[in-house]
Structure 1
Amino acid sequence: MTPEDREETQPLLRPPDGSAPLSRRVFLAAFAAALGPLSFGFVLGYSSPAIPSLRRAASPALRLDDAAASWFGAIVTLGAAAGGVLGGWLVDRAGRKLSLLLCTAPFVVGFAVITAAQNVWMLLGGRLLTGLACGIASLVAPVYISEISYPAVRGLLGSCVQLMVVTGILLAYLAGWVLEWRWLAVLGCAPASFMLLLMCYMPETPRFLLTRQRHQEAMAAMHFLWGSEQVQEEAPAGAEHQGFRLAQLRHPGIYKPFIIGVSLMAFQQLSGINAVMFYAETIFEKAKFKDSSLASVIVGIIQVLFTALAALIMDRAGRRLLLTLSGVVLVFSASAFGAYFRLMQGGPGNSSHVQLLSPLSVEPASASVGLAWLAVGSVCLFIAGFAVGWGPIPWLLMSEIFPLHVKGVATGVCVLTNWFMAFLVTKEFSSVMEVLRPYGAFWLASAFCILSVLFTLSCVPETKGKTLEEITAHFEGR
């Protein structure tokens, strides 16, 4: 039996089960790692309050026109796609902890460049750097948290990744009410700086240390995190030389989770979440909200509340059930949103999605407002449904389903898929709306949500209550 076979057929360690006393240190370590996703969320939310402020900038060199504003928001996804590739390389070679420490540098430097910006190019450069950090953090933080957690709390702690992302978005929205763009960028340095300080005192994951033959450090890490040193057997000899090879894709233990992980990331973006978020503020304006920026805050609060609910029930309800329920809610809410656009259509010759957002002149004002409230309800229901399942669970499953020796490459491909699809959907959604009309575009998103439900029921295994080694054994048919 080769060293590689021995690793794939026998678990490396046995973490505490649900009956063991909970160790507070594992929650502290998870919180430290989750500060990366908090910074990630702040980066995503930063553009919403910063762009209006930069449009009114006193210096002409800093003032954003429509094209520059579009790039200011979109360039983050390109940086994050590169960060996903870099993170997949780092997480296997530098380790989980060091990768998290390293990603703080582009967060802080990126926001510092934005703070000191003298022209639009410096603004875009800062956004690209923060996007790179987002890509690394979105990959490494879920992996670190899943490997330090034990089955009884892995769903709770893994869901906190997405919870911290939406909290960071909401924090940026709220801070944007009182801070102009430079001071908002200064505030953006705080979560990453705090993570750097806190992660210095946290251990590397025991599983990674065992694959590197660092047994004493693994023992110390297990004692710190779990209050125990429950090693079932020693790590296989030669584990440090293992890595991903294309030939391994023939094995069901590799290609099955690979297909599931990539598909989950694609379906997450094809649900239409970015398009719904894009139109949220306009929809709230049609419902006669006095302060249209209040829409962003309301959306942020809904995301935080329902993501927190998902985290609390994740280890009881299970991943498959929440994904299925979430998908069903997305189907109905996206369909209702499409129906709103269909009812607001101005006539057979009107194909502009911008015109379709305007109330019809022949329609009574009260009816227009009533339809707008239908859209508000659809948006809120869509965001709540997404936050309960398809928001946090693809990231959680990505960190659970891959064997240790291919985790870096596999999670890197998943993160790259997610960010590439986010960029593609955001950039091409307007073109789809021109061809299919707005109602057709959202009904297409509803169709993808139906496919996501069918995929969940037929392909996604339940990982609740299982160790990472047991999940690997499931895919290998053991």
Structure 2
Amino acid sequence: MSFREESDDARDIRKPFLHTGSWYRMGSRQSSMMGSSQAIRDRSVSVLACVLIVALGPIQFGFTSGYSSPTQTAITKDLSLTVSEVLEFSLFGSLSNVGAMVGAIASGQIAEYIGRKGSLMIAAIPNIIGWLAISFAKDSSFLYMGRLLEGFGVGIISYTVPVYIAEIAPQNMRGGLGSVNQLSVTIGIMLAYLLGLFVSWRVLAVLVEDIFEVQYHVSLAGILPCLILIPGLFFIPESPRWLAKMGMTDDFEASLQVLRGFDADISLEVNEIKRSVASSSRRTAIRFGDLKQRRYWFPLMIGIGLLVFQQLSGTNGVLFYSSTIFATAGISSTNAATFGLGAVQVIATAVSTWLVDKTGRRLLLIVSSSGMTFSLLVVAITYYLKDFVSDSSTIYSILGIISVVGVVGMIIAFSLGMGPIPWIIMSEILPINIKGLAGSVATLANWFTAWVITLTAPLLLAWNSGGTFTLYMLMCALTVTFAAIWVPETKGKTLEEIQWSFR
């Protein structure tokens, strides 16, 4: 049975939500109609343009994640919040994670049934509605609903964007382009911190008091990435590997041609993708018993493990509540310090984007998690020592500076590896015939862990800061062991070669 005949049943069931469009096929046959510019023929320019458009989704992701940090100090100070009210703020901060868990459950199946581009379109709509709900909130119900809707969209984006990038990128650029996903997240976080410097805004107060002030222009900043993303999706090709899986041979080859350049010979890559899809036996349903096979359980274990350890490192707790951490370290302008932390994260992630295809994924993971372990050890020791010195002493001030240096070191180490690479590896190693389900499970595990960390971080820091950082340090130490023993190197391999290595 031919590849095309084998896929006819799937074609009748599943259609791309945003069709690839005839202009790709026309362009692949007659490139002169696309203009004379050599840039359109350069595969890196074509792929890079697609990556920059879908990267708008992770910017929204980051803005949502960083939304709570600049507000916490002002809220707790202005309203003199009690412990129960701090818990309430923690609930608000973690609601996006709850929404993201729901989005994660649906993300894989949505991306499989309507395509990667259609999935991003679906994700953009609740994000826009969520920010509008926050903009015009008059009571807690709209505020919470907006936060949940944002999270739902983010849950879909967090799975779909790295998968789309991995499926369109050439093997020698896949790591660097995949890191753009996390780079965009850090840019979104930094933008949220930047607004905290210049905008006086209180997001949440006491529910029963009905005190809500959400600035209109702040929410517009959150809406903007998705407003640009939606029209941008109409100008980029669908994932060629998804089109191949759906049996849309003409569209699959046209999409790959425009990604590699109209003058490029794609016959070898086309045949390799066809063989991979044909061997995945899509007609046979995967049963739970089949997961006992190494080709399934091993990559799934690695994907889930890395995404869970990424959150157990406590980075979300540090980022969501960094203003409080800097305040306890004696820094007066906490918002400025938080913005500086966001800027450092962007720079370090940009360095990772350059390094990942040179050094490899596995080495960067080990170096990153080792650096986080050491940095968190330094922070934990400083907080323990603070209990034995006077608040007004010089030693106390020095310890505060050292703790800030440790936090910055942790964020740099995280950005170099543990931030971008788990998402890259997840998108690379999951078998094509279980990618939707397995990707949803891995993404759900990540967001569930993120929710637990975000919800408990302020309570743990209030209980015992030194103990909290010690706990995060132990998790990072476990990550070093996990990466060294279990994680394979995927640098320089095609997605099809990676799949065959697990057989």
Which residue of the partner structure matches residue 465 of structure 2?
438
When residues 126 and 159 of structure 1 are mapped into structure 2, their CA distance, relative to the original with a 3 A threshold, is: same
For normalisation by structure 1, the TM-score amounts to: 0.86
Conserved 8 A contact 2:91-2:455:
no
Task: Compute the displacement of 1:66 (Å).
Answer: 3.8
Which residue of the partner structure matches residue 406 of structure 1?
434
Conserved 8 A contact 2:65-2:320:
no
- 2:479 aligned with 1:426: no
When residues 242 and 83 of structure 1 are mapped into structure 2, their CA distance, relative to the original with a 3 A threshold, is: farther
Q: Look up the equivalent residue of 2:346 and give its one-letter code.
A: V
Secondary structure in 1 aligned to 2:296? helix
| Partners of 2:279 and 2:323 in 1: CA distance | 57
Conserved 8 A contact 1:269-1:421:
yes
Q: Look up the equivalent residue of 1:451 and give its one-letter code.
A: L
Q: Look up the equivalent residue of 1:183 and give its one-letter code.
A: H
Q: Which segment is superposed worse, 234-243 or 330-339?
A: 234-243
- 2:135 aligned with 1:96: no
- 2:114 aligned with 1:114: no
Q: Look up the equivalent residue of 2:90 and give its one-letter code.
A: S
1:359-407 Cα offsets, whole Å, 9 max, x none, are x5x4553211111011011011011001101111101111100111111
| Alignment match of 1:232 (pick from 254, 257, 271) | 271
| Partners of 1:46 and 1:122 in 2: CA distance | 16
Which residue of the partner structure matches residue 224 of structure 2?
190
Q: Look up the equivalent residue of 1:116 and give its one-letter code.
A: F
Task: Compute the displacement of 1:288 (Å).
Answer: 4.3
Task: Compute the displacement of 1:50 (Å).
Answer: 4.9
For normalisation by structure 2, the TM-score amounts to: 0.82
Q: Look up the equivalent residue of 2:118 and give its one-letter code.
A: L
Which residue of the partner structure matches residue 476 of structure 2?
449
Which residue of the partner structure matches residue 466 of structure 1?
493
- 1:53-452 mapped onto 2 (5 Å cutoff): 66-179=86-199, 180=201, 181-227=215-261, 228=264, 229-230=266-267, 231-232=270-271, 234=274, 235-236=277-278, 241=283, 244-277=286-319, 280-345=322-387, 360=389, 362=390, 364-429=392-457, 437-452=464-479
Conserved 8 A contact 2:87-2:459:
no
Which residue of the partner structure matches residue 12 of structure 1?
none
Conserved 8 A contact 1:213-1:240:
no
When residues 288 and 447 of structure 1 are mapped into structure 2, their CA distance, relative to the original with a 3 A threshold, is: closer
| Partners of 1:185 and 1:54 in 2: CA distance | 18
Q: Look up the equivalent residue of 2:65 and give its one-letter code.
A: L
| Alignment match of 2:47 (pick from 26, 49, 52) | 26
Which residue of the partner structure matches residue 15 of structure 1?
none
Q: Look up the equivalent residue of 2:193 and give its one-letter code.
A: Y
| Partners of 1:324 and 1:238 in 2: CA distance | 32
1:71-102 Cα offsets, whole Å, 9 max, x none, are 22110110001110111120111111110111
Task: Compute the displacement of 1:52 (Å).
Answer: 6.5
| Partners of 1:267 and 1:135 in 2: CA distance | 18
Secondary structure in 2 aligned to 1:461? coil
Conserved 8 A contact 2:316-2:450:
yes
- 2:84 aligned with 1:45: no
Secondary structure in 2 aligned to 1:404? coil
| Partners of 1:178 and 1:388 in 2: CA distance | 29
Q: Look up the equivalent residue of 1:41 and give its one-letter code.
A: G
| Partners of 1:117 and 1:306 in 2: CA distance | 36
Conserved 8 A contact 2:376-2:470:
yes
Task: Compute the displacement of 1:441 (Å).
Answer: 3.2
| Partners of 1:57 and 1:339 in 2: CA distance | 31
Q: Look up the equivalent residue of 1:440 and give its one-letter code.
A: G
Conserved 8 A contact 1:283-1:375:
no
C-alpha RMSD of matched pairs (Å): 2.7
| Partners of 2:125 and 2:427 in 1: CA distance | 23
Percent of aligned pairs with the same residue? 35
Secondary structure in 1 aligned to 2:198? coil
Task: Compute the displacement of 1:457 (Å).
Answer: 1.1
- Gaps in structure 2 of 5+ consecutive residues: 8-40, 202-214
1:133-162 Cα offsets, whole Å, 9 max, x none, are 010000100000100001111001100100
| Partners of 1:431 and 1:185 in 2: CA distance | 28
1:298-344 Cα offsets, whole Å, 9 max, x none, are 11011100000000111001001100111111111111111011101
| Partners of 1:50 and 1:117 in 2: CA distance | 17
Conserved 8 A contact 1:340-1:375:
yes
Conserved 8 A contact 2:69-2:322:
no
When residues 363 and 43 of structure 1 are mapped into structure 2, their CA distance, relative to the original with a 3 A threshold, is: closer
1:180-217 Cα offsets, whole Å, 9 max, x none, are 53210012111001011111111111111111110000
| Partners of 1:275 and 1:187 in 2: CA distance | 23
Conserved 8 A contact 1:286-1:369:
no
Task: Compute the displacement of 1:279 (Å).
Answer: 5.5
When residues 316 and 337 of structure 1 are mapped into structure 2, their CA distance, relative to the original with a 3 A threshold, is: same
- Gaps in structure 1 of 5+ consecutive residues: 8-19, 59-63, 347-359
| Partners of 1:281 and 1:53 in 2: CA distance | 10
| Partners of 1:57 and 1:110 in 2: CA distance | 26
Task: Compute the displacement of 1:34 (Å).
Answer: 1.2
Conserved 8 A contact 2:127-2:223:
yes
When residues 203 and 284 of structure 1 are mapped into structure 2, their CA distance, relative to the original with a 3 A threshold, is: same
